[in-house]
């Protein structure tokens, strides 16, 4: 069974605080209402379920609202809530279909771009890559909006200063993941390194850098080296090529060590921790005469508590 894709409470709260990039939330009616009491009640049922975090109920209320009032003046307020409810209940096909509709009318809605980019990223981490293309488009657009220098639409300057490292780190990681899945490893590494600089607390970022190096630069260099004859390998050109291979392996070792160190105490990352440790030990042995002496000290170097103490 595919793991349910849900936004974390922190992400969801951030989206709500930011107003979904300028989209108005709330049950308050416009000054000159153009809807019936029944229409307002249907909308309010959606709003109340959404605010209470009852997303399954919000889906039911939202679909009932649009079934009766598809052209309501309250639709621009209702659609973002229904979209997030779709994401939270793993109805991703519906979420992205509605997202395309909303974003075609409001392409600079940073909040929705962010929600859909992270939803696609979470799905992709669960090996559901159907939404990678949309996710790459939305994450890239969100980063373009943020690059303008000011707080994105819907964020106050103060809130943006508080949250931008986490937000931009998540977006760069998403772009890196989507490019990694396309085997565009060098471009993926560029975004993943930016993500690591902005938010060094996510072990997935370091793991993806290690994997991108392994499948990209390392694989090419290793293939070139393995094609050399025994005589060529001991010649100067062969030795220089092996040095390049070893230098990339050392980078991979660091990335896997960081992954292990950061994920070790988090139960939700245990599968990642085990996979990273297996790769780490394999490449560490290659570079250290088939021993793991000093490996635990290397991992300890990158543990969050050590980093905090050093800071």
Residues contacting residue 293 through CB under 8 Å, at least 6 positions apart: none
Residue 257 sits in the same domain as residue 144: no
Q: What is the pTM of this model?
A: 0.89
Residue 242 sits in the same domain as residue 302: yes
Task: Give the model's pLDDT for residue 309.
Answer: 35
Residue 103 sits in the same domain as residue 209: no
CATH number, domain containing residue 92: 1.25.40.10
Counted domains in the chain? 2
100 φψ region: left (φ > 0), alpha (ψ -120 to 50), beta (else): alpha
Task: Give the model's pLDDT for residue 35.
Answer: 83
- Residue that the structure tokens 């997202």 belong to: 99
Residues 113 and 170: beta-carbon distance below 8 Å = no
Residue 165, domain member (yes or no): yes
Residue 146 sits in the same domain as residue 287: no
Residue 191, domain member (yes or no): no
Q: Please say which residue of 154, 185, 216 terminates a domain.
A: 185
Residue 173 sits in the same domain as residue 204: no
Tell me how far apart the alpha carbons of residues 23 and 25 are, in angstroms, rounded to a whole number. Answer: 6
Residue 122 sits in the same domain as residue 151: yes
Task: Give the model's pLDDT for residue 103.
Answer: 95
For the chain, percent helix, then strand, then coil, each to nearest 5? 75, 0, 25
Residue 171 sits in the same domain as residue 212: no
Residue 172 sits in the same domain as residue 270: no
Chain Cα centroid distance, residue 250: 26
Residue 176 sits in the same domain as residue 221: no
Residue 3, domain member (yes or no): no
Show the low-confidence residues of the chain (pLDDT under 70).
1-33, 305-311
Residue 190, domain member (yes or no): no
Q: Please say which residue of 117, 150, 185 terminates a domain.
A: 185
Residue 204 sits in the same domain as residue 177: no
Q: Please say which residue of 150, 185, 220 terminates a domain.
A: 185
Residue 14 sits in the same domain as residue 38: yes
Residue 265, domain member (yes or no): yes
Task: Give the model's pLDDT for residue 20.
Answer: 47
Task: Give the model's pLDDT for residue 9.
Answer: 52
Task: Give the model's pLDDT for residue 311.
Answer: 32
Residue 192, domain member (yes or no): no
Tell me how far apart the alpha carbons of residues 93 and 54 are, in angstroms, rounded to a whole number. Answer: 20
Residue 223 sits in the same domain as residue 176: no
Domain extent, residue 65, equals: 9-185
């Amino acid at each position: 069974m595919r793991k349910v894709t849900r936004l974390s409470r922190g992400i969801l709260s951030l989206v709500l605080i930011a107003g979904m990039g300028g989209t108005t939330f709330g049950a308050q009616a416009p000054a000159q209402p153009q809807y019936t009491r029944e229409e307002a009640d249907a909308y309010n049922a959606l709003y109340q379920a959404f605010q209470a975090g009852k997303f399954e109920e919000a889906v039911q209320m939202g679909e009932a609202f649009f079934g009766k009032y598809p052209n309501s003046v309250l639709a621009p307020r209702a659609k973002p809530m229904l979209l997030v409810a779709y994401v939270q209940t793993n109805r991703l096909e519906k979420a992205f279909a509605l997202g395309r509709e909303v974003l075609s009318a409001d392409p600079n809605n940073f909040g929705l771009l962010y929600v859909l980019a992270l939803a696609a990223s979470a799905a992709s981490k669960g090996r559901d890559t159907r939404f990678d293309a949309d996710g790459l488009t939305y994450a890239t657009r969100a980063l373009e909006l943020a690059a303008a220098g000011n707080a994105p639409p819907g964020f106050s300057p103060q809130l943006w200063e508080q949250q931008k490292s986490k937000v931009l780190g998540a977006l760069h990681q998403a772009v890196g993941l989507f490019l990694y899945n396309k085997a565009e490893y060098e471009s993926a590494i560029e975004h993943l390194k930016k993500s690591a600089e902005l938010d060094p607390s996510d072990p997935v970022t370091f793991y993806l850098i290690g994997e991108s190096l392994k499948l990209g630069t390392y694989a090419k260099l290793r293939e070139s080296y393995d094609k050399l004859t025994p005589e060529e390998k001991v010649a100067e050109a062969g030795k220089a090529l092996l040095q390049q291979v070893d230098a990339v392996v050392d980078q991979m070792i660091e990335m896997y060590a960081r992954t292990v160190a950061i994920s070790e105490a988090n139960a939700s990352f245990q599968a990642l921790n085990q996979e990273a440790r297996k790769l780490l030990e394999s490449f560490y042995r290659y570079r250290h005469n088939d021993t793991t002496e000093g490996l635990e000290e290397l991992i300890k170097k990158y543990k969050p508590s050590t980093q905090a103490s050093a800071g």
